[in-house]
Amino acid sequence: MDFSFGPEDERFRAEARAWFDAHPVGAYADATSRGGPGSEHERVATRRTWERKLGAAGWIGLGWDRTYGDYGNRAATLTQQVVWAEEYARAGAPGRVGHIGENLLAPTLIAYGDAAQRDRFLPAIARGDELWCQGYSEPDAGSDLAALRTAAVRDPADGTYRITGQKIWTSLAQHADWCFVLARTEPGSQRHHGLSFLLVPMDQPGRIEVRPIRQMTGTAEFNEVFFDGAVARAEHLVGGPGNGWRVAMGLLAWERGVSTLVQQIGFAEELDQVVRLALETGAAQDPVLRDRLVRQWAELRTMRWNALRTLGTAAGDPSAGDRPAGRKAAGDRPAAGRAAAGPGAPSVAKLLWGGWHQRLGELAMQVRGAAAALGPADWSADRPYELDPLQRLFLFSRADTIYGGSDEIQRNIIAERVLGLPKESR
């Protein structure tokens, strides 16, 4: 795939850069570069205000398919979306607090939702007014999502669904206005069957309880969410009853789209920080450590080119081919120019970046030496541990090979669905 930038892309870059130069100042300065992995809990109020600023300028939803209308977002080609991601990172702008709604739910509603659902939810996401969280994983259904037990029962009196169960590892649930929930709507159904995709308002005191989970970093951006008869309206079921697995898997395919490239830009900034520290402390004089630094750089470049190669394809969408006639996914492009990426591309990418990021955290501690084991002078039990960025990188990255699909699950997908190897005994 030819991913060179043309004159229109460079004009788009100049417009984006000028806007960023004018806006991440004043009230937003304390939130610049905040809100990434390990710090999603930081400066949420400021970042919500920033979302609305982005929305007012039309910067939310650049990659949305415009087949069904304009929801207040700018149109942008795939290369322009990459330009935007690069300029966002360059500006050190606040970490996006609305990315779940923009990059996951919105393309899902465009592909699988009906007109009423798109008209209700997409403009609010594009304005930065409503924040979303993701209700997928459960205590006994993490990587094996099909084992979920959260149930949604249709109330014959008013047609609403009453949801009972528990979700876990739910990022920013304590701040979200809505949650998209994968629940079992057919009693007695098993595995992938009988599931539905529901849009659930979070403001239901007594019916929804959010409990923060303290992490190794001392912070709590993940949560447990308990549903005790929480209500979802019938018209907020996406894709039809019992079709939840197809919708949910379509959503996960978009999770690894342009956002993968954005993630790698953040990785590059972290690597630069480690390299600078190695040069400042003289640690780079160690030939073994210097070799590891070069290897990290080379692997990151390889991941970037792999992401660019596969970005314009629909091969990573496991639901492609079973959508209703005439329906296409957000971000779909004409077949011409697509790379020949296989169905295992998302799993390969996840294996690559998860291990790479863990090794970067380990390398950061090696560069720091004995100082890496020192904590802040004032340890307090009633506030998050004040770790420096590299310490937090090391601790948080221990989870990289688990969340988003563990390495073991990704290898099974590649082995069974791509290589055609026999399935392991269940």
Which residues is 183 bridged to in the sheet? 196
Q: How far apart are CA 241 and CA 287, in angstroms?
A: 60
Place of tokens 């209703």: 324
Token pair belonging to 413: 């997908």
CB 356, CB 267: distance < 8 Å: yes
Gap between the Cα atoms of 389 and 277, Å rounded = 12
Q: How far apart are CA 21 and CA 281, in angstroms?
A: 33
**Both structure tokens of 330:** 């957000």
Whether residue 152 contacts residue 162, with contact meaning beta carbons closer than 8 Å, is answered with yes
- Dihedral sign for Cα 406, 410, 412, 413, please: positive
Q: For residues 194 and 391, give the distance between their C-alpha atoms in angstroms, rounded to a whole number.
A: 44
Q: How many residues does the chain have?
A: 426
Residues labelled catalytic: 255
Burial class (CB in 10 A: 0-12, 13-18, 19+), 323: middle
Q: Are 121 and 235 in contact (CB under 8 A)?
A: no
CA distance to 74, 89, 105, 154, 247, per residue, from 113 (Å): 21, 32, 10, 20, 9
**Gap between the Cα atoms of 249 and 257, Å rounded:** 14
